[in-house]
Structure 1
Amino acid sequence: MLVEEIMKDKVITLPAEETIGTALKLLNEHHIRHIPIIDEKKHVIGIVSDRDVRDASPSIFEEDTDPEELKNPIKSIMTSPVTTVHPLDFVEEVASIFYEQEIACVPVTRNEELVGIITEKDMLYTLIQLTGTHVQSSQIEVKVINRPGILPQVTQVFGKRKVNISSVLIYPYKPDPKYKIIVVRIQTMNPLPTIEDLKSEGYEVLWPKMPGMLS
């Protein structure tokens, strides 16, 4: 899945000379958490978060209705430089950027010009779609030997039952690297026949754990 498929292309932005007060107003009005700061060419030169603005704002107990802090330019609190991604980058690669850099938002640029934005919420929703948990389905986890060609062999078992597969994920089996776990979501609320098929083919089903059925 590509970044352009999940990014928001309507982005609230501000120039660096705009005030912190303006940023606070936009954050509250649009219920957003980040504002990219751009120059006249729409190049991203910084970014501010709701936390940045909150930390720079006076206490709510202050009596002054027009505090000087809110008149300071947004460039005084923005984070710069900013990590950006391209619309044709893979979402899976962008997820690693979120994790490694511990950030909650990434502007999307093409030819250095801002064209969109991706947030943590967008990434989480995409994960839900990729794993198939947004549709009614059953999850089956199968422990298999870690060797080439094992995935099509396992999915053939599902094909015999003509069940619709929502998603397939593969991750390591930590106790023994010679094995891996194949997680398959199928669009049925009764996975028992498929589980029996897998067992009859010699596969070990780790989930669901059902008394009297699974070893």
Structure 2
Amino acid sequence: MLVEEIMKTSVVTLPPTATIAEALQLLQKHRIRHIPIVNEEYQVIGIVSDRDVRDASPSVFDTNSISEELENEIQTIMSTPVITIHPLDFVEEIARVFYDEEFAALPVVRDNNKLVGIVTEKDMLHTLIQLTGTHTQGSHIEVKVPHRPGILPEVTAVFGKRKTNIISVLVYPFKNDPNYKILVFRIQTMNPLPIINDLRTAGFELMWPNNVPEPKL
């Protein structure tokens, strides 16, 4: 999946000469947490968050300085330089950037650093939900398998015999043992018992559900 498939293209922006008060109004009006700062060519030169604006705003008890503080230009508090991403970047790779750098939003730019969109941590979480299929009603099955070529089609063949639709497949390591992997399936059925029994009959070890009794012979 590409960034251009999940990014928001309608982005609220401000020029560097805008005031902190303007930023505060936009954050509250649009219920957003980040505002990219752009120049006349719509190039990203900075970014401000609701936290930046909140920290730069005077205390509500300091009535004498409220108007003065809020009239400061936004460029005095914006973060720069800005890490940006491209519409053709892979979402899975960008998720790592969010995690490693602890970002909450990333501007999306094209040629010559021009802003075309923005991706937030909420967008990433929503995408993860879609990729894992948890937004679709179904059943969850985890299978422990040897880490060797061809194992995935061997397991999915069991689902195929039952004509069961696989919503999503994830693969992750089994603890610290490089010889095994865990295959996580989400399947479109509310009765996974026949599939569970077939997997066991085929010799596969189930990690979940692991409390379903084996069929009596």
TM > 0.5: yes
Q: CA RMSD in A?
A: 1.2
Instruction: Provide the residue aligned with 1:38 in structure 2.
Output: 38
Indicate if the aligned counterparts of 2:57 and 2:66 stay in contact, CA closer than 8 A: no
With normalisation by structure 2, the TM-score equals: 0.96
Instruction: Provide the residue aligned with 2:206 in structure 1.
Output: 205
Instruction: Provide the residue aligned with 1:58 in structure 2.
Output: 58
**1:129-168 Cα deviation digits (max 9, x unpaired):** 0000001010100000001111111111111111111100
Structure 1 residues not aligned, in runs of 5+: none
**CA–CA distance in structure 1, aligned partners of residues 212 and 161 of structure 2:** 25
Structure 2 residues not aligned, in runs of 5+: none
What aligned pairs does 1:1-215 form with structure 2 within 5 A after superposition?
1-64=1-64, 66-111=66-111, 112-213=113-214
Task: Find the residue that maps to 1:156 and give its secondary structure.
Answer: helix
**CA–CA distance in structure 1, aligned partners of residues 19 and 102 of structure 2:** 27
Indicate if the aligned counterparts of 2:139 and 2:189 stay in contact, CA closer than 8 A: yes
**CA–CA distance in structure 2, aligned partners of residues 79 and 115 of structure 1:** 19
**CA–CA distance in structure 2, aligned partners of residues 193 and 61 of structure 1:** 66
Letter in 1 for 2:182: I
Indicate if the aligned counterparts of 2:14 and 2:36 stay in contact, CA closer than 8 A: yes
Task: Find the residue that maps to 1:67 and give its secondary structure.
Answer: helix
**CA–CA distance in structure 1, aligned partners of residues 182 and 48 of structure 2:** 41
Task: Find the residue that maps to 1:182 and give its secondary structure.
Answer: strand
Aligned residues: percent identity?
65
The aligned length equals 214
Task: Find the residue that maps to 2:86 and give its secondary structure.
Answer: coil
**CA–CA distance in structure 2, aligned partners of residues 107 and 205 of structure 1:** 42
**CA–CA distance in structure 1, aligned partners of residues 209 and 157 of structure 2:** 20
- Structure 1: which 4+ aligned runs deviate by more than 4 Å? none
**CA–CA distance in structure 2, aligned partners of residues 3 and 203 of structure 1:** 37
Shift of residue 211 of structure 1? Answer: 4.6
Task: Find the residue that maps to 1:133 and give its secondary structure.
Answer: coil
With normalisation by structure 1, the TM-score equals: 0.97
**1:44-91 Cα deviation digits (max 9, x unpaired):** 000000000000001122334852110000000000000111101100
Structure 2 CA distance for partners of 1:213 and 1:59, relative to 1, 3 Å: farther
**CA–CA distance in structure 1, aligned partners of residues 103 and 135 of structure 2:** 25
Task: Find the residue that maps to 2:178 and give its secondary structure.
Answer: coil
Task: Find the residue that maps to 1:143 and give its secondary structure.
Answer: strand
